[in-house]
């Protein structure tokens, strides 16, 4: 997919203040510092779109970006960030849960997992949570440039195997690097397909 325009729209403290729900929307979520904002910038070919940082906890609100004047990308705060107070964390969790469960135009959630690590409990729990809420999602393994290919493949395989213990069907997954710009085409192709679904919903069901 060609990106003709990408623009920051608004940062919202809760789902009620998000832009009018009239366009297909894709949210990016994952642990703090996993590379959500960097991935969004890579996908949109715009390094200045979402703010990135070496310090975890950079993104704190629900950030909407409008792409090609047609669909939204949403950058969310990371989960599992230890350096905030318990009450602040509870507030974020509520904000994210409400957004994920109530946003009508949310087509898909991309859950980002750091490809350098073996499966982490917090990520598996988050995946299960989305399953319980029946929210469609895909898995994106990030930072694949930081490890050799064998380690990345082993970590991907082992995460998916962990999921097999509780899931009958596995979601689709992507391996990416924001630095090397890998994985972009496949994700953009899926988004293009889902944009079409938004316009022509399948009425056979
Ligand atoms: N080598 C490498 N570094 C990456 C990649 N993606 C992100 N980073 C680095 O990881 C750090 C965190 O990236 P962000 O995109 O800000 O992460 P985030 O998930 O948005 O973080 P929060 O908003 O704090 O939750 C930055 O220093 C990025 O430069 C990648 O694919 N490869
Ligand atoms: Mg961020």
Ligand 1 centroid–CA 199 distance in Å is 32
Quick check: is 205 in a domain?
Answer: no
Radius of gyration of the chain (CA): 16
- Classify residue 157: in a domain, yes or no: yes
Longest dimension (CA), the chain: 48
Q: Is residue 105 part of a domain?
A: yes
Mutate to test the pocket of ligand 1, among 31, 38, 51 (most ligand atoms within 8 A of CB): 38
Domain-located, residue 106: yes
Number of domains in the chain: 1
Q: How far apart are CA 126 and CA 121, in angstroms?
A: 9
Which tokens go with 50?
Answer: 């979402």
Q: Is the CB of 53 under 6 A from ligand 1?
A: yes
192 domain residue, yes or no: yes
Specify if 203 maps to a domain.
Answer: no
Determine the Cα–Cα distance for residues 57 and 66; give it in Å rounded to an integer: 23
For residue 31, the domain's CATH number is 3.40.50.300
For the whole model, what pTM was predicted?
0.95
Place of tokens 């789902």: 15
Residue pointed to by tokens 């999921």: 163
Strand partners, 62: 12
**Residues whose CB is under 5 A from ligand 2 (ion)?**
36-37, 58-59
The ligand minimizing its distance to the Cα of 52 is 1
Distance from Cα 69 to the centre of ligand 1, integer Å? 26
Per-residue pLDDT of the chain (205 residues; tens, 9 = 90+): 899 999 999 999 999 999 999 999 999 999 989 999 999 999 999 999 998 888 776 678 999 999 999 999 999 988 876 677 888 888 888 999 999 999 999 999 999 999 999 999 999 999 999 999 999 999 999 999 999 999 999 999 999 999 999 999 999 999 999 999 999 999 999 999 999 999 987 755 5
Q: Has residue 1 been placed in a domain?
A: no
Q: State the residue for tokens 């380690």.
A: 151
Closest ligand to the CA of 55: 1
β-strand 71-75 against 106-114: which pairing, if any?
unpaired
Beta carbon of 145 within 6 Å of any ligand 1 atom: yes
163 alpha carbon – ligand 1 mean position (Å): 25
- Looking at ligand 1, which residue's alpha carbon is closest to its atom 6? 35
Domain that holds residue 108: 6-198
Residue nearest to atom 7 of ligand 1 (CA): 35
């Amino acid at each position: 997919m060609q990106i003709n325009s990408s623009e920051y729209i608004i940062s919202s403290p809760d789902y009620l203040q998000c832009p009018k729900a009239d366009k297909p929307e894709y949210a990016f979520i994952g642990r703090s510092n996993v590379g959500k904002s960097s991935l969004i910038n890579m996908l949109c070919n715009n390094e200045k779109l979402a703010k990135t940082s070496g310090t975890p906890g950079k993104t704190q609100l629900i950030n909407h970006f409008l792409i090609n004047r047609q669909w939204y990308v949403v950058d969310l705060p990371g989960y599992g960030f230890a350096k905030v107070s318990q009450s602040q964390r509870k507030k974020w969790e509520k904000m994210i849960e409400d957004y994920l469960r109530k946003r009508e135009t949310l087509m898909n959630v991309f859950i980002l997992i750091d490809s350098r690590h073996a499966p982490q409990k917090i990520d598996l729990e988050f995946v299960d949570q989305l399953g319980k809420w029946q929210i469609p999602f895909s898995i994106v393994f990030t930072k694949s440039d930081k490890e050799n290919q064998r380690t990345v493949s082993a970590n991907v395989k082992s995460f998916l195997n962990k999921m097999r213990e509780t899931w009958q069907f596995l979601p689709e997954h992507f391996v990416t690097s924001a630095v090397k710009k890998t994985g972009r085409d496949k994700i953009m192709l899926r988004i293009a397909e889902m944009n079409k679904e938004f316009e022509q919903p399948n009425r056979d069901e």
